Amino acid sequence: MTATTDLQDIKISGSGKLLGGRYNQVKISGSGKIGGEIEANRVKISGSGSVEGKAVIKELNVS
């Protein structure tokens, strides 16, 4: 995985869809869908979330 400083943080609030890719942190609050493969240091989901592809995640929090 690439250094944390080289990767974006992304947040979905309400409902939305994110393209796959490489991210530092992804936060979903509400309902979110990730379309494609994702690689992330941290994913936090409060509500519902799904990934349509391979997921490589160092830390996953779901509530």
> Could you tell me which residue, 63 or 4, shows the higher pLDDT?
63
What distance in Å separates the CA atoms of residue 21 and residue 15, rounded to the nearest whole number?
19
- Phi-psi group of 5: left, alpha or beta (phi > 0 → left; psi -120 to 50 → alpha; rest → beta): alpha
In a 3-state reduction of DSSP, which class is residue 50?
strand
Q: How many domains does the structure of the chain reveal?
A: 1
pLDDT tens for residues 29-38? 999 999 999 9
- What is the domain extent for residue 51? 4-62
pLDDT tens for residues 11-54? 999 999 999 999 999 999 999 999 999 999 999 999 999 999 99
* Model pTM score: 0.86
pLDDT of residue 1: 54
